[in-house]
Amino acid sequence: MKNQFTRESIEITGASENNLKHISLCIPKEQLVVLSGVSGSGKSSLAFDTIAVESSRQWQATYPLFLRNRLPRYERPAVENIRNLTPCVVVDQRAIGANARSTVGTATDVAPLIRLLFSRVGHPSAGGSMAYSFNHPHGMCPECTGLGEQVQLDETLMFDRDKSIHEGAIRFSQFSGGSWQEFYYHCNPLLNPDKKLRDFSQEEWKILRIGPDVPLVMDFIRNNTGQVSKLPYEGVVTRFNRLYLNRDISDLKKQVRDEAMRFVRRCPCPACCGSGLNPLALESKINGHNIADYYEMQVSDLLAILDDIADPLGQSLADQIGVCLRHMVDVGLGYLNLDRRTDTLSGGEAQRLKIVRHLGSSLSNITYVFDEPTAGLHPADANRIGKLLLDLRGKHNTVLVVEHNRQMIELADHIVELGPLAGEQGGEIVYQGDMDGMLRGNTPTARSMREKLSVNLHPLDWAEGFPIQHASVHNLKDVSVTIPKGVLTAVTGVAGSGKSSLICHEFVARHPEAVVIDQKPIGTSSRSTPATYTGVMDEIRKLFAKDNGVSAQWFSANSKGACPVCKGKGEITPDVAFADPVSILCEECQGRRFNPTALSYTYRGKNIEQVLNLTISQALAFFPLPKIQKPLRSMQEVGLGYMTLGQSTSTLSGGEVQRLKLAGELRKEGNIYVLDEPTTGLHHQDVMHLLALLRRLVAQGNTVVVVEHRMELISAADWVIDMGPQGGRGGGRVLFAGVPAALLNCEASETAKFLRARI
């Protein structure tokens, strides 16, 4: 390709954002352009932090200052010049809605249309459209206030009937395991703490769970003072409900909150049967179906119901609803129902839901930037996404995709690969051109595209397993299967086939000791960093304090060392009344977070800010102490050596979060590990590195179960369980369970079809 700047290209000169090394390139307009490269090579820095940010910044500059002050503020990216930029739409994998009232129906704006439909043609009518809303007092169930569920303690998880109280029959650590609250149950004169719970009489069970009929007051002697306190006895269930379910627990430690929620199950509200609606709204029907029926149906099934509406006014609304639902089917989400909570969606599902919003748009000359749109998708579903991206391109739009998926790379009109490696060793353009040219190259992506897979012909044997009997959660159809012990098991199948239901719900519920390594964010604060998450920050502060003869608090952005203006956040969020909060770079410290006194102290020639800007790989060479090196080496081993010590964990991708969690488990033995799509966001080169780490966990005596779509990992597993054959109602069955080589002969499996094509 000639490096000629034209109006038909977005021209970027001197891009230096993050790890980009002053790169210049032309991105052709009205084409499908894929940015590839290993994780951390600079793809997102170019697509999101440079192109998308500068487009948004310049677009907002056209608004009056009054409006600009109420919009998110974008700093000019580190780039000399960008020409021929178009308005930009970013479709990322951030969660949609963070509360229990956000559903697929509300996120796609279909729910308001359905409410309007029922308010116009439903019989008997419950009133206006708000009378059908579970988020409005006129429509919500008075018992559950529209949530549609009740939270209850699951006693089967709380108690181990095969143990005595002294042996740890109460599994909740706050009521046992050395907690002062274990006094209630270990010292209860009405209970024998050495008696197995399965041998308890009904009266003893009632005392343990609820309490005796006659109130019991126990004498608690404090060890440190000898003081005697009179404590009224509460049963386990009564106390748990009072302390953890019937009050706000947001102020408790996150570790305690998370553990408490492990013993909780959510069940449908008996008053509204889980719909969240009041009786008047549920009585109103169209052709025999009420609004809760509409929400509970699969999207693909609801389309047929809408086609049967004969009322002229209803037909118009049904047509509008049908357009959106067909788009959902097109992106492979036809298996979802509209009352599915958005906080239960995977990152890939959330992103595809956002795609739906743009499919009906008639806008052209727009640059769409997608962040791995095939994340969480089986290769069979990825083909659909590719077609939709081509449709967007066909409307004279530029489609820019950050992607590792080989199907998307093969589909691209133009490929830009960054690298050659990650972090400081990346940020350069190693290839730019079409697919034919890439296949002749020697870049990491080119090598992976030419590489054929080999099936694991020598899988590890197993004799024991974890049986799952008659599982029926979500769309599972009375599934019985055994998860092998001590090997690497891949659970596969198309999107919505029941993989996560089987493993992340059913298996984990039956084995609460399993360690789930998912992509949920770590740290609820912007102050959370890899250094604080791994605990090395405490050691770093000690080194600075010892070397300078001052308190370690000077090297904390939460204490003495904090900038006095932004309080160590590096940014200020002024109150803009009715508008969303806007973060502005702190002018006092320029985002450095620390005050001048803290920054004046150094350790080995670097101040605390400079140390936090070190990458994990650089920090390994800088700090010789084993206490710091051990956790950092684990991070490097999981492929995060390019990450800086001070990077906010809120900026990490789901795949990076998962690998950061995995780093803390590398040297443990005898555990059960469940990983939900661990290859999300990983280049082929990084996938092979991850596979070696999973093999290492297995070799250390652990059981590893991965819910996965990547053929590289599936082909190398010891055991494969393939779910399907389709998504939603058409899935929920075990199509295959066996070694990878035998999977190739399963004709009903979509996974087998794509695996055969890669060998």
**Which residue range forms the structural domain that includes residue 109?**
104-148+270-330
User: Of 598, 627, 650, which residue constitutes the final position of a domain?
Assistant: 650
Q: Do 370 and 352 share a domain, yes or no?
A: yes
pLDDT computed for residue 149 by the predictor: 83
**pLDDT over 90, % of the chain:** 56
Q: Do 372 and 424 share a domain, yes or no?
A: yes
pLDDT computed for residue 1 by the predictor: 40
In a domain, 752, yes or no: yes
3-state DSSP call for residue 574?
coil
For residue 83, CA distances in Å to 8, 54, 86, 93, 649 come to 10, 11, 9, 28, 33
Q: Do 549 and 636 share a domain, yes or no?
A: yes
Q: Do 516 and 659 share a domain, yes or no?
A: yes
pLDDT computed for residue 578 by the predictor: 41
- Burial (Cβ within 10 Å: 0-12, 13-18, ≥19) of residue 175: buried
pLDDT computed for residue 72 by the predictor: 74
Q: In this structure, what CATH number is given to the domain that contains residue 15? A: 3.40.50.300
Positions of the chain with pLDDT lower than 50, given as ranges = 1-6, 576-581
CB atoms within 10 A of CB 453: 15
pLDDT computed for residue 284 by the predictor: 96
In a domain, 715, yes or no: yes
Q: What is the pLDDT of residues 619-649, one digit of tens each?
A: 999 998 899 999 999 998 888 888 899 988 8
Q: Do 85 and 29 share a domain, yes or no?
A: yes
Q: Do 139 and 280 share a domain, yes or no?
A: yes
Q: What is the pLDDT of residues 579-594, one digit of tens each?
A: 444 567 788 888 899 9
Q: What is the pLDDT of residues 342-384, one digit of tens each?
A: 877 776 677 788 888 777 777 889 999 998 888 878 898 888 8
Residues 6+ apart with CB under 8 A from 292: 273, 275, 277, 282, 339
Q: Do 275 and 253 share a domain, yes or no?
A: no
Give me the residues paired with residue 81 across strands.
13
In a domain, 3, yes or no: no
Calpha distance 756→432 (Å, rounded): 30
In a domain, 99, yes or no: no
Q: How many domains does the chain have?
A: 5
Q: Do 31 and 57 share a domain, yes or no?
A: yes
Q: In this structure, what CATH number is given to the domain that contains residue 641? A: 1.20.1580.10
User: Of 650, 677, 703, which residue constitutes the final position of a domain?
Assistant: 650
Q: Do 516 and 544 share a domain, yes or no?
A: no
Residues 6+ apart with CB under 8 A from 367: 10, 51, 55, 85, 86, 87, 88, 89, 397, 398, 399, 400
Q: Do 368 and 442 share a domain, yes or no?
A: yes
pLDDT computed for residue 377 by the predictor: 82
User: Of 393, 426, 450, which residue constitutes the final position of a domain?
Assistant: 450
In a domain, 658, yes or no: yes
CB atoms within 10 A of CB 194: 9
Comparing CA positions, the residue from 584, 561, 558 lying closest to residue 571 is 584
In a domain, 337, yes or no: no
In a domain, 324, yes or no: yes
In a domain, 4, yes or no: no
Q: Do 352 and 324 share a domain, yes or no?
A: no
Q: Do 168 and 209 share a domain, yes or no?
A: yes
CB 674 within 8 A of CB 517: yes
Give me the residues paired with residue 606 across strands.
603
pLDDT computed for residue 590 by the predictor: 86
pTM: 0.77
**H helices present in 412-522, as ranges:** 435-439, 444-450, 499-500, 508-510
